[in-house]
């Protein structure tokens, strides 16, 4: 009987993969459900003998089996979208059954943990430092330095916490790891545990990921003896975006309200239950399994990883292409590739066929980048110099019909809704920001929000100019960026100021003035 491989990834399921699988079974085929390749525009993607077909509907099954389907794309591994990538963290994507211990071991699984346990904890930490791996969740802090801090901290108990609260718009790489290669995450956590002296770990996963939750729960049970004495537990979030911030996440695991903690102390010194804690995201931990797997002459190890990338941004980054894009999906490449290459060479431009107007990188709090800056390389320092963020490397594309003024307003509104409420710049500043943007876009015809307050009844009645409102908005953004307790309020100015700087015409009629090179700096 013919073997047919079909993804069990959430995107494939949403596109009807279960019905396609049932049609192949009805036709007498053996169907294996495997991890997703990340070619989302082709889902449901079917693989038969290495050849790919997609997107396949149940009615296409007879023609696929008869060898006369127009949906063939040739060998999947040789497709330009895959062949041009450098897949390390996602080396197994599309190739294994997610919960098969045999498949995982046959593709190099557990080798990183075995090698790590043959080394001293200090040697493991040093290898991660030498790899130059930086946190893939947003801040880009060196992972090895964080591990070293926890390893050297005094404490009877230490913890490894995986931040799997993937809440940024256009991001799905964490979900793909958990649904498609769950043992890689568990192995990475066990390596971190050996390096730091931790015996327990928690995976904090968003409740909106039911398939990932089910897969991780099953994988933890299967991995039990492999990672002992280290243990892992799942904790589900309740939909709060701010719990993606590490200290709010720790509060949530402890059963408290998800509010941000003041720092210091850092979680590495006083984190979960007051104990030294490593908090890394899914991609960071999964990458360590590759880094520790072998010496550099065998295709792995710190030197091999550090040889990729540019500047202080080393290794590979799984980039997620989403929004109005022709070929959405996962692209893992070394740092240094330009934003234009990602959007046009891999993504194929917009799905609508219209010109690209902007790309937002780094989630809902990332800057909007115009096409004339698409030469920007994927590099933490280069993005920071351009007042932009890489974050979790979600790239959301917009065509020329997008209203950038409305998107700037959404950033402030999003912050107002998702704020934990602990600090004034985020809690109040975002609400005032929405009001200011509304007033600017209305041409100052909207009433002053302060005028209706009792204490202002006798104040002089003035109508602020649009220029004054713009100055007030930029001052507000400066305050939020400098004084917010965490990145939720601190990063909200990025999309607002970038939209105002590059697309002033979207903020009201006859509003196309040049603000100068220093605006929003």
Q: What is the CA radius of gyration of the chain?
A: 24
Residue 446's pLDDT is 47
CATH 1.20.1440.230 range(s) for the chain read 404-507
DSSP-derived 3-state class of residue 277:
strand
CATH 3.40.50.11540 range(s) for the chain read 101-307
* Residues counted in the chain: 521
Q: Could you say which residues of the chain have pLDDT below 50?
A: 446, 449-450, 456, 514-521
Residue 456's pLDDT is 47
What is residue 290's DSSP assignment?
H
Biggest alpha carbon distance in the chain?
A: 86
Residue 138's pLDDT is 75
Burial class (CB in 10 A: 0-12, 13-18, 19+), 491: buried
CATH 3.10.20.600 range(s) for the chain read 319-397
CB 57 within 8 A of CB 83: no
Can you give the three-state secondary structure of 416-439, one letter per residue?
HHHCCCCCHHHHHHHHHHHHHHHH
Q: State the architecture of 319-397 in CATH terms.
A: Roll (3.10)
Residue 91 to residue 318: CA distance in whole angstroms: 11
CATH topology classification for 3-83: Glutaredoxin (3.40.30)
Residue 136 to residue 123: CA distance in whole angstroms: 22
Q: State the architecture of 404-507 in CATH terms.
A: Up-down Bundle (1.20)
57-79 burial, b at 16+ Cβ within 10 Å, e below that, comes to: ebebbeebbeeebebebeebeee
Residue 297's pLDDT is 53
Tokens 């934003």 label which residue?
A: 339
Residue 265's pLDDT is 95
CATH 3.40.30.10 range(s) for the chain read 3-83
Residue 509 to residue 139: CA distance in whole angstroms: 38
Superfamily of domain 101-307: NADH-ubiquinone oxidoreductase 51kDa subunit (3.40.50.11540)
């Amino acid at each position: 009987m013919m073997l047919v491989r079909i993804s069990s990834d959430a995107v494939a399921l949403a596109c009807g993969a279960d019905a396609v699988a049932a049609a192949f079974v009805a036709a007498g085929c053996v169907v294996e459900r495997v991890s997703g390749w990340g070619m989302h525009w082709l889902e449901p993607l079917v693989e038969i003998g290495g050849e790919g077909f997609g997107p396949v509907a149940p009615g296409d099954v007879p023609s696929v089996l008869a060898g006369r389907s127009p949906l063939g794309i040739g060998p999947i591994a040789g497709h330009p979208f895959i062949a041009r990538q450098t897949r390390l963290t996602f080396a197994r994507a599309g190739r294994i059954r997610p919960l098969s211990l045999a498949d995982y071991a046959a593709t190099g699984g557990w080798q990183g943990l075995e090698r790590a346990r043959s080394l001293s904890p200090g040697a493991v930490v040093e290898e991660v430092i030498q790899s130059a791996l930086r946190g893939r969740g947003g801040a880009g802090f060196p992972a090895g330095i964080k591990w070293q801090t926890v390893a050297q901290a005094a404490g009877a108990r230490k913890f490894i916490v995986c931040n799997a609260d993937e809440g940024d718009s256009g991001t799905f790489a964490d979900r793909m790891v958990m649904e498609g290669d769950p043992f890689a995450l568990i192995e990475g956590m066990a390596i971190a545990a050996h390096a730091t002296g931790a015996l327990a770990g928690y995976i904090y996963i968003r409740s909106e990921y039911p398939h990932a939750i089910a897969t991780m729960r099953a994988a933890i049970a299967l991995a039990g003896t492999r990672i002992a004495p280290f243990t892992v537990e799942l904790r589900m979030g309740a939909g709060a975006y701010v719990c993606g911030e590490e200290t709010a996440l720790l509060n949530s695991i402890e059963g408290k309200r998800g509010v941000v903690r003041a720092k210091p102390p850092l979680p590495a010194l006083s984190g979960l239950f007051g104990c030294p804690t490593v908090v890394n995201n899914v991609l960071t931990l999964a990458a360590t399994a590759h880094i520790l797997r072998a010496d550099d002459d065998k295709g792995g190890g710190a030197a091999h990883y550090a040889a990729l990338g540019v500047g202080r941004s080393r290794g590979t980054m799984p980039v997620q292409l989403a929004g109005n894009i022709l070929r959405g999906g996962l692209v893992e490449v070394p740092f240094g590739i330009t934003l234009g290459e990602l959007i046009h060479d891999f993504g194929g431009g917009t799905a609508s066929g219209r010109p690209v107007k902007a790309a937002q990188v780094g989630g809902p709090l990332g800057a909007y980048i115009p096409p004339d800056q698409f030469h920007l390389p994927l590099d933490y320092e280069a993005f920071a110099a351009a007042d932009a963020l890489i974050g979790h490397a979600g790239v959301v594309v917009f065509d020329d019909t997008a209203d950038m003024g409305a998107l700037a307003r959404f950033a402030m509104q999003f912050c107002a809704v998702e704020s934990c409420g602990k600090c004034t710049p985020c809690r109040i500043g975002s609400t005032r920001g929405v009001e200011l943007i509304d007033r600017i876009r209305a041409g100052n015809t909207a009433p002053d929000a302060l005028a209706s307050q009792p204490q202002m009844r006798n104040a002089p009645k003035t109508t602020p100019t649009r220029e004054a409102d713009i100055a007030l908005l930029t001052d507000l953004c400066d305050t939020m960026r400098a004084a917010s307790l965490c990145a939720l309020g601190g990063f909200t100015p990025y999309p607002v100021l970038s939209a105002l700087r590059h697309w002033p015409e979207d903020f009201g009629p006859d509003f196309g003035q040049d603000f100068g090179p220093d605006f929003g700096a």
